[in-house]
Structure formats: structure tokens, C-alpha cells
Structure 1
Amino acid sequence: MPLAIARRFCAPLLFSVLATSALAQPGTPDIIIRLDERQLRSGAFELGNPEPESGPAEIALPGVVVVPPMQLRVVAAPAAGLLETLTVSPDEVVRRGQVIAQLRSTELVEAQRLFLQAVTTKELATDHLRRDEQLHRERVIAERRLITTRAEATAANAALDERVQLLNLFGLSDEEVAELRRTRRIQPSLPVKSPVDGVVLTRAATAGERVAQAAPLITIGDLSVLWVNAQVPISRVPALAQGSRVLVPAQGAEGTVLRIGRSVDASTQSVTAVAEMTSGTDALRPGQAVTVAMALRGNGGGQFRVPAGSVVRHRERSWVFLRTPEGFRARPVTVLNETAQFTSIRGELAATDQVATRGILALLGELSDGDES
């Protein structure tokens, strides 16, 4: 429609728009637009019938396979030192407790020395406490000296516990700490072990490199359950529901919709829907681009095909305009699929309904004007 005609047609008081209070809610009512014969002629509307479809109740969307963040573990250097060996490569399967690297560290040597020193101090403090308790029972020393000795023994125990915790942070197990205490042999290097079962995803260091404390060495992922981040056009979000079934047909993986995002990508006007794939994940790879089929929400209406320009967006909903004796009736629908020529929709329609296929701009303008009035 020419812009001049659209402006003249959209003059104030031309339409009467009703039931505008619940546009964005489920079960949104129709909006009635009343026109007389002169207004219908000046609008130059064209009409068409919706074509029933028997297509599948699902939608195909692009997505990317990712590892859930709670299933990622970054193995970091427990101490600063020289990375002597790194025994695993990307995509290698590792088991919990498996040695993945060997680290030579002066910090580790110093921590072991201070631990053994704390062991000696604790043993001496214990001996002093035992002796002073005996002397106090024999009334040889005053109680004040016994109190001081007990405080020294308590401090020695706390210092030893601190040194044990530091060795645990360096990666030594309780059994290895006990062995060090028994043999008093300081080890210059430390085996770095995998904390979980999984697959090596990335390797951030190489053998022969000096690394700082807490520097990442490798990333391990549990790939038993994977996510697919699917990009959903904003117009199709109402057709999806949390918990609905999801398929990756090419790889044979299955899962459910975990959540549907609330934020929209400004550049693509799409929302991210996260699908949790729990079956057939062996055929999926992190970072892989896939096509997912998501089951659509049922709303009690049938599925139809209309010309692409027949569907408009207004207040977070999709609408079509049905011809009525008094003018038009704006009816909310759910968009299932779109092509350059046609749009598949679901809603309370019938094959005998007449849908506006031309003059949509003027009707949409009056719909917006009705909200502002």
C-alpha cells in the first residue's frame, strides 16, 4: 500500500479497537477492528484462506554442542615450578587419580621441610607437656608453668595441622603425608593427578615450561551429558516449552529443553534455548554445529500455512487479521516455521477463514494506535 494511502487510512477515530488489556498473556483475546464499506475500499485489502497443514509438531533450529559448566574441571599447577612432563593429550580419556603431569618445585621442597619441622616441634611440645603434668602432680612446679606448657602444645598442634593442609593443597594425599612423616625423605617433584573421570578438552601448558602456582594445565570434561545451545528467533519462542523433547536427528541424540533464555541477542534477534542431551551423546562433540528438532507447545489450535506477509508482530505476539462482517479481527497465533513465501502457524483458525494478505501495514498501525489511546 502506498504510504499516503496508509496515512489517510490510519487517521484518528477511523477504527475502534477493543480488548487490548491482555495482549502478552496466554489465552490472549481477539482484537476487533470495525470498518465500513468506504474504509474497506480505501484500504485496498486482499484476502486469502489459510491452508491446513499436517506437518510434524516440531521446529528445526541451529545449535552448538557445549559441555555443561558444572562438568568442567580445570587442573591447575599446585605450586610454582618446572613442568617436567605432561602425559596426556587433547581428546584422551583420563581416570580419577591418574597421573597427568610431573612438577618439580622448590615451593614443594620448602613446604615439606616446614612440615617436618612442625612435626618435630609438636613432638617436643608433647614431651614437655607430659613431663610438666607429671611434675605438677608431684607438686614440683607451679600450675602457671603447666598452663604455659599446655598452650605451647596446643600451638604446636595447630601449626602442624596448618602444614598438613598446605601439603594437601599441593596435591599430596593423607597417605603420602603420613609416608613423609614416617620416612622424613623430602621429594623434589610432585605428581599432578586427575581429580575426575573425563576427557581432556584443552592443554594450556607444555613440558619443560615454568609455570606459576594456580596456572591452568589442562581442562577435563565429563561428556556423559551435553548441552546444545539452540538459537531461537524471537517470534518462535512462544511455540517452545521447558521440558519438551529435543532430537539431534543426524547424530541420534535425545534430550529435553532445560531452559529458554530471557535475553535477546540484539544482532540476530534470537533467544538461546538450552537443551540437555542425555541419550546418544557419544556421537556429539563439544563445539559441533548441529541442527536440533524441538517439539512444539500444543495450544489446541490447528496448523496452517499463510502467505509470509500475513503475520505481524505486536507486543511480543504474532497476529493475523481475519475478515469479519464488521471489519477485521486480530487473532494471536504461534509461528512454527517461516520461508520467503509462506509462514506456518498454529492457532484457532479454520480453512474457511479469510486472512488479510495485503493492507497489513495499516491494520498494524491501528493496532498500535489503539494501545496508545
Structure 2
Amino acid sequence: MHHARYLGAQRLLLALTMAIPVRASSETNAGAGHEVVLQFNEAQIRAGGIETQLVVHESSLGELVVPGVVTVPPQQMRVVAAPAAGLVETLLVVPDEDVKQGAPIATLKSWDLIEAQRSFLHALSAANLAAEKLRRDEQLFKEHIIAERRLIVTRAEAIQARSALEERKQILSLVGMSDEDVASLQRERTLASSLQVRAPIAGTILQRHGKTGERVQASTPLVTIACLDPIWVNLQIPIIRAAALESVDRVHLPIAGLDGKLIRIGRSVDTPTQSVNAVAEFRPGRRPLRPGQAVQAILHINGNSRTQWRVPADAVVSHQNHNWVFVRTADGFVARPVTLVSETPQFASVQGSLKAEERVATGGLLTLLAELAAAAK
């Protein structure tokens, strides 16, 4: 709360000490967001330390300043794990290093790899033998030497052997061997005891989980890699300002000089902070935006055909899920509900039943807010 509001609290105590009666007209329902007339004379206004400023007509564009945290889009992040149990011989990358897709990340010495290769070569030999047997039986069947039943059995055995070979080939792929590695194994029949773990995407190494010389099980995380362009910023929007999100034209990050767009507005509210989560997307290029970095974002808001007014930020108060300003009248003040379009530390843009040359209270607001609360009862 701003300094003026704390000062208003002190003046409120003074007014209560003086026991000056203040009358509030409650002909309308304050809880429902209707106007409420608060009758004050000049002595009461001075005692309450109430100050006023003019409202200013402005174009239907505004700004809302909110905090945010840089984060990586989940679809652009990968956790690279050990494809098989074994010993980490080398880790070839460090945090914050940029890597290309397919670049080697680690070297793993794996006994599971040796067993998978041995089983593949065994299945390869069985498939070749079954294929040769099928070729021979097809020739014998053409020469009417064997019965058709034997050919059918041989053909089924050949199909089963090919399926077993494909299964073993898929297992080699799961333990980290590329198609080129499998072709070399099939051609040369030489077992390899080590394999290279490669980057599944191009990006930046965010974290290194494993370490050289460590024995790991299959699926043990080794590194986390992410593509940081585009990147997201999670924004926290106070619930009373969430209505303005539908009219956001662009989002600006002053710290990086970047403009982005709002791509998602949350439908739930965080209970402790009473804020709505929104996501903005940016293309940082070479300008650094680091995951986990706290930033401040400016939401540029397009207005609509309704008239918009600029008032000091201190002039807008929240009461019973409505935003209010206190407009000076001949008999005191009128508590008038407004829609908060945008807000900066100095000014707020609102829409409501205001007029040029009207004055709104900017000091002593606790005195007025107390009378508004009393009228609501």
C-alpha cells in the first residue's frame, strides 16, 4: 500500500478521536457495485486528510505491469537418460553449452549392450538359416518332392525368425545404437562394449545429472537439454485485473528489450496470492533470457469503444470484489465502481461513469473506505 494510504490511516484515527459524525446514504447496494453517496462537510474532509486530483481523459490504450518468471516450454525440453545399465566413461558436455541434434553427450560402457548385440547376431543367424531352408523347400515343392504342408510349416518358421530378428533390432535401438551401428554390426559381426549417447534435439544443456565413473541403471538421467527459442514467461496477474487480459495487444520485457505475445490465460486462481497465471511467448535470439530468471513485464492493453480515464494509482481501491474511486461532490463524495483496465506504479486507467473536470480522492482513502464498508452493511 502506498504512503498516502498509511498517512490516511493516521488521519482516520484523528477523525475518530474528534468524533465527527459522517453520514452515508445506503439507498444503493455497495456490495453489488452500485454508487454510494458519502456525505462529508469541509471540516470532516480536512480532519480526515482527504485530498483530491483531477481525472484525465485518455486514449483506450493502457499498460499493466506484472511480475513473471522465465521458463522453458515443456515441449522443448528433454531429459537424456542412460539407454542401458553400465558405467559412465565420459560426459562430453557442460551446463550452458549449446549442442546440435545428434551430437555426442556421453560415452557409456554397458554389459547390457553386449548381451543385446549377442542376441541380435543369434537372431540374425536363425533368420538367415530359416530363409535358406524356405528357399530350398520352395524348390523341392516345385519339383513335387515334398508335400505342401511341409512348405507351409517352413514358411511360418521363416516369418517367425524374421520377426524375432526385428525384435532384437528394436532392442538395439532402445539401448542407444543407431541404424548405422546396427548395419555395421550386421556386416562385420564385431561386438562393441561402449556406446555414445547423443542429443535428441538441438539446444542448450541446462543441467548435468550424472558424473564420470558413475555406475547407472537404464533410464538414469544424464543431462537436461532444452531449446530456448522461443521461450515462455509465466506471468502472475491479480484476479481483479484479469478481465483486461482479453485485450492485451503485446507484452514487453524492459530488461531484454523484447516484445512478445500472450498465448495462454489460466482458468484457475492461485489461492495464496489470488492471482491468475498467464503465459507470454518471446523470441529472444541472442538476447539472454535464462530459465528461472525473475522479470517484470508490461502488458499493453487495447481498449474498446468505452471512454477511458486516467487517475492516480492511489485513487483506486478494492472492496468486495469491485474497484472503486471516490468522486468529489458538493455534499461530500460518491463511491463509484469502475473497471480497472491497466495500472502502473503512478497511474491507473479505468472505465466507468466519470466526467472531465471531476476530482477523485487520492489521500485519506481509509476514511472513505470505512464509510463505504459501513454503507454496505
Answer yes or no: is the 8 Å Cα contact 2:342–2:348 preserved in 1: yes
Deviations 1:68-115 (A, max 9, x none): 111111111110000100111001111111111110101000000000
Conservation of the 8 A alpha-carbon contact between 1:115 and 1:160: yes
Deviation per residue, 1:233-282 (Å, 9 max, x gap): 22322233366211112221221112222323322222222110124562
CA change 1:122–1:318 in 2 (3 A) is same
Query: Runs (4+) of structure 1 moved beyond 6 Å?
Result: 44-47, 53-56, 323-327
**Match 1:235 to one of 223, 231, 240:** 240
Q: Does 1:268 align with 2:273?
A: yes
1:301 is aligned to 307
Q: Is the aligned partner of 1:359 residue 2:349?
A: no
Rounded Cα–Cα distance in structure 2 between residues aligned with 1:170 and 1:143: 41
1:96/1:197 contact within 8 Å kept: yes
Change (3 A) 1:79 1:143: same
Identity between Structure 1 and Structure 2 (%): 42
Q: 8 Å contact 1:242–1:260 — kept in the other structure?
A: no
Aligned pair partner of 1:64 in 48, 69, 93? 69
**Structure 2 matches for 1:252-267, cutoff 5 A?**
252-267=257-272
Q: Measure, in 2, the Cα distance between the counterparts of 1:233 and 1:166.
A: 52
- 1:50 and 1:304 in contact (8 A); partners too: no
Secondary structure in 1 aligned to 2:264?
A: strand
Q: Equivalent residue for 2:224?
A: 219
Q: Given that residues 57 and 356 in structure 2 are in contact (C-alpha distance below 8 angstroms), is that contact kept between their aligned partners in structure 1?
A: no
8 Å Cα contact 1:242/1:258 also seen in 2: no
Counterparts of 2:231 and 2:137, CA distance in 1: 63
> How does the TM-score come out when normalised to structure 1?
0.81
Give the TM-score, by structure 2 length: 0.80
1:307, distance to aligned residue in structure 2 (A): 7.0
User: Could you list the runs of 5+ residues in structure 2 that have no partner in the other structure?
Assistant: 1-11
Aligned Cα RMSD in Å? 3.4
Would the aligned equivalents of 2:79 and 2:221 in 1 still touch at CA under 8 Å? yes
Task: Give 1:198 deviation, angstroms.
Answer: 0.8
Q: Is 1:139 equivalent to 2:148 in the alignment?
A: no
Matching of residue 187 in structure 1 with residue 192 in structure 2: yes
Deviations 1:16-41 (A, max 9, x none): 44995xx7xxxxxxx355x6xxx846
Residue of structure 2 in register with 1:331 after alignment = 337
Deviation at 1:231, TM superposition (A): 2.2
- Aligned 8 A contact 1:308 1:338 in 2: no
Instruction: Note the residue ranges of structure 1 that are not aligned, 5 or more in a row.
Output: 24-30
**Secondary structure of the residue that 1:100 maps to in structure 2?**
strand
2:317 match: 311
Instruction: Tell me how many residue pairs correspond in the alignment.
Output: 348
Partner secondary structure for residue 363 of structure 1: helix
Retained in 1: the 8 A contact 2:249–2:301?
yes
Q: Which residue of 2 aligns with 1:97?
A: 102
Q: 1:290 — aligned with what? A: 295
Which of 122, 130, 133 matches 1:125? 130
Change (3 A) 1:325 1:87: same
Q: Following the alignment from structure 2 to structure 1, what is the Cα–Cα distance between the partners of residues 316 and 200?
A: 57
Task: Give secondary structure in 1 for the equivalent of 2:204.
Answer: strand
Equivalent residue for 1:51, pick from 55, 67, 71: 55
SS of 1:79's equivalent? Answer: coil
146 and 310 in structure 1: CA distance in 2 versus 1, 3 angstrom threshold: closer
Q: 1:324-357: CA deviations, max 9, x gaps?
A: 8999574322153376xx7623113223335475
What residue in structure 2 maps to residue 81 of structure 1? 86
What is the identity, as a one-letter code, of the residue corresponding to 1:251? A
Q: What one-letter code is carried by the residue in structure 2 that aligns with 1:15?
A: E
Amino acid across the alignment from 1:332? V
Please state whether the residue corresponding to 2:243 is helix, strand or coil. helix
TM-superposed CA distance for 1:142, in Å, is: 2.0
Deviation of 1:290 after TM superposition, in Å, equals: 1.7
**Residues 41/294 of structure 1: CA separation in 2 closer, same or farther (3 Å cut):** closer
Structure 2 equivalent of residue 158 of structure 1: 163
User: Structure 1 counterpart of 2:136, which letter?
Assistant: R
In structure 2, C-alpha distance between the alignment counterparts of 1:16 and 1:51, rounded to whole Å: 24
Distance 1:248 1:307 in 2: 22
Deviates more, 1:184-193 or 1:260-269: 260-269
